[in-house]
Structure 1
């Protein structure tokens, strides 16, 4: 994966108030740490960072140039997002060096088509691996081509690029192939749905009768008064 150059500014304001002001300025609060060095608080341009993550994935390598002259390489270690706005709230960045091995979680994509009348369940969509910090793959691939129902694809079945080693348990299930429900099985559920619908209708009719009773009694009471 190629590195993305991105500028950064030293961050001197901390706490929730400082973070909000940073985000309002179009920046994302971040911290650089690793190699036994004291954490460095910086702010990254939100739009540029988001574009890089969309293109390169969560393990995108960044060449960060801080305005004070500092230049470092870093990988995102933890990214906090606003679940409603889908914006970045805070980023933890791990300092790395060229040639250094790092352990990361990489996305797994399923390729191919399983046998007819089957369903595929993606049990785990990431796997933990070690790789050169400058050569972390943006994704891994696992084939389900032609697999029959009852088959599993494990971590050991996933293709690993040269220089990438598996850290996850080799027996970990990445995907499971199950039999798709037959038409008869689907039809077997229909009577239950219909019965539930009939009960609901009966309850509705009973509710209408109950609702009409007070009104009828009221009309009788009015008739007696007039008499």
Structure 2
């Protein structure tokens, strides 16, 4: 299963309880961040369909209708057919997988977020969509892209910016899902990190994680202070090892001619 970049509404059933952090903690080295503008809404027309086997789904696709299901909390799911090309056009225009889509069905409007999209692996054409019906004020868990702005201090010094997490999980109002979470990295120095708990979020939004993690950093060599060599001891400088060795070898070289002279002298009678 795949869809537009990013992810969609996620179910809350889990054996682990993620940690929710609203806004960010007061940290001395905290950098300024901001959340992007809230998403727009778009509309598509749909018609009811009978949930059948694969044969019925193929017939619907042959007629140009893309099958989908609207899931509603506490109510029965609704099977629909719609123009898949129109839905693809919406995502190309919004460039946001968390766009609210108003589904017009028999005079009723169903505002929905996308739960899952199934595409043809070759043509990438939309083949099936699961919609999640949402209401104003309803809190949903969504996955939102992370972006950066500014030129980091570490990059200006020769480092390289590295985005460690391209998306984060948020819990927020279904009508207040940000298109992305932007991080201003202007003050980020080489070797420093910005963590998930430091991201600034829209009012009422919380970031979900079981354990805090790094989102962005600047990699590169950290400048080291140059320490001068220790001053030589009073009374002179130490001779290089090579010269010292040569100085010791000199007397041995001079002793050789003395032995040769002794050999030439006549023996005493």
| Aligned match for 1:61, one of 84, 100, 124 | 100
Task: Give the 3-state SS of the residue equivalent to 1:86 in structure 2.
Answer: coil
Asked if residue 129 in structure 1 is aligned to residue 170 in structure 2, the reply is yes
SS at match of 1:156: helix
Conserved? CA contact 1:142–1:157, under 8 Å: no
Displacement after TM superposition at 1:170 (Å): 6.8
Number of residues of Structure 1 aligned to a counterpart in Structure 2: 179
SS of the aligned residue for 1:113 comes to coil
Give the CA deviation at 1:8: 0.6
1:148 aligns with 2:189: yes
Q: 2:53 & 2:75 partners in 1: Cα distance?
A: 22
Match of 1:9 in 2: 47
The structure that is helix-richer by fraction is 1
Alpha-carbon deviations, 1:51-100, whole Å to 9, x = none? 2222331111112111x333211111112233432222221111111121
Any stretches of 5+ residues in structure 2 without a counterpart? 1-38, 222-269
2:60 is the counterpart of 1:22: yes
Does 2:113 correspond to 1:113?
no
Segment drifting more, 91-100 vs 12-21: 12-21
The structure with higher relative contact order (CA 8 Å, sep 6+) is: 2
Any gaps of 5 or more consecutive residues in structure 1? 181-227
Between 163-172 and 98-107, report the one with greater CA deviation: 163-172
Q: Is the 8 A contact 1:155 1:169 kept in 2?
A: no
Q: Is the 8 A contact 2:51 2:79 kept in 1?
A: no
Please report the RMSD computed on the Cα atoms of aligned residues, expressed in angstroms.
2.1
